[in-house]
Structure 1
Amino acid sequence: FPFYLQFKGGKGFASYIGLVFAVNWKIGIILVVVGLALSFLANWIVMATLVFVICFPIYCILTKAPTITIVAALAVSLLIIYKHLNNFKKLKRGEEIGINGKPVSFLLKKESSNIE
C-alpha cells in the first residue's frame, strides 16, 4: 500500500515484483535499480512499472525460461498495463502527479527561449 497513493493500489505490482525475484533475484535487483532511477529522472512513478512489465517478459523469452514462466510473465504484464491505462491517459493529458507532487506530462514540451 504506497503512502503516496493514500495507501491504495500497488498490491498487484508488488506481487509481480515478487514473481521477478522468485525467478531471478539478480534481475529483480537490476530492474528495481533501473526502474527507480528512471522514475526519478522522468518524475513518473509509473516508469518503474513500465521497466518491469517490458523487460521481465523479454528476459524470460531470451533466457528460454520454462513456458509457464513466460506465459505468467506475459499475462501478468498485460494485466498490469491494462490496470495502468488510466495512469497513461492522465500522463498524456498532463494530469498525472509526479514523484515531486507536481503534474507531469508524457510528452516533453519544448520551452521557448527568448534570447535578447
Structure 2
Amino acid sequence: MVFMIDAFFDPITYIIMGGTYLMGSIPFGLIFTKFSGLGDIRSIGSGNIGTTNVLRTGNKKVAALTFFCDAAKGTLPVYITSIFKPELAPLAGFFAVFGHIFPVWLKFRGGKGVATAFGATLGLSWPLALMMLVTWITIAAITRYSSLAALVATVTSPFFAFVLTNLMTTYYALGLAVLLVFTHKNNIRRLVLGQESKIGDTTPLQNRGNDV
C-alpha cells in the first residue's frame, strides 16, 4: 500500500503510463493492411483492427504479422519498464493494452486487446501467460467459441496470478479482466442469445463477432 501511494506522487509513474499507452496505441492492423494494398481494415468485416478481422482479408501473412506486433507492443513496454522500474511493469502492461483498445489516433476506437494482453502478460510472467493460453485452447477446443475462450482465460487470470505471481500482477490481471469483458460486451450478448459464430463458421462477415 505504501508503494502504491509513493508511486502516485512519482512523475516517473505518469511518464511510464503515457509512454506505454502511446506504444500500445499503434494500430498495426490498420497500418499493415493499408500498406499491403488490402484497404482500410475498419471497412472490412466487423471493422475491428485486430488479428481476427485482418485474417478476413484472406492474407494470413499480414494477419500473423499483426498478431506478432500487437503482442510485442505489450511485451516490449513491460520489458523496458522492468529494467528501470520493475515494480511498475504491471502498470506498463495494463496501459499498453489500454492504448490498443482506446488509441488516440483512431478516436479511441481500437481492438479488443487480447493479443496485446497476451504479450504484456508474457512479459510479466510466462507461467501466467501459459496458463491463460492453455485455458484459451481448452475452452476454444470444447466450445469452438473464440470470444468465450478469450473471456474465460481473462476472467480466470486473476486467480492464476494470485497463485503464481505477486500482488501487483494480480491487480494487473484484475484490471485486464475488466477491460476485456468491456471490449467483448457485444460478444457476451450474442453468446447469451446463441448468435455468436464459432471458429470455422462460414457465416457472412457482417454477422460475425468473434474478433479478439
Where does the alignment leave 5 or more consecutive residues of structure 1 unmatched? Answer: 104-116
**Partners of 2:113 and 2:180 within 8 A in 1:** yes
Question: Which residue matches 2:117?
Answer: 16
Q: Secondary structure at the match of 1:89?
A: helix
With the length of structure 2 as denominator, give the TM-score of the two structures: 0.41
Structure-2 separation of matches of 1:34 and 1:73: 15
The count of residues paired between Structure 1 and Structure 2 equals 101
- The TM-score, its normalising length taken from structure 1, stands at 0.70
Are the equivalent residues in 2 in contact too, given 1:40–1:99 (CA < 8 A)? no
* Per-residue Cα deviation, 1:24-47 (whole angstroms, up to 9, x for no partner): 213322321331132121121113
Name the CA distance, whole Å, in 1 between partners of 2:192 and 2:111.
21
- Which of 33, 44, 59 is the equivalent residue of 2:134? 33
- For structure 2, the residue ranges without an aligned partner over 5 or more in a row are 1-50, 58-109, 204-212
- In the other structure, the counterpart of 2:170 is 70
2:149 is the counterpart of 1:99: no
Q: Measure how far apart 1:21 and its partner are.
A: 1.1
Deviation (angstroms), 1:3: 4.6
Q: 1:64 to 1:30 in 2, by over 3 A?
A: closer
Letter in 2 for 1:92: V
Q: Relative to structure 1, is the Cα distance of residues 31 and 71 closer, same or farther in structure 2, using a 3 angstrom cutoff?
A: closer
Q: Distance in 2 between matches of 1:62 and 1:29?
A: 14
- Decide which structure has greater helix share: 2
User: What amino acid is the match of 2:189?
Assistant: K
- Which residue is 2:79 aligned to? none
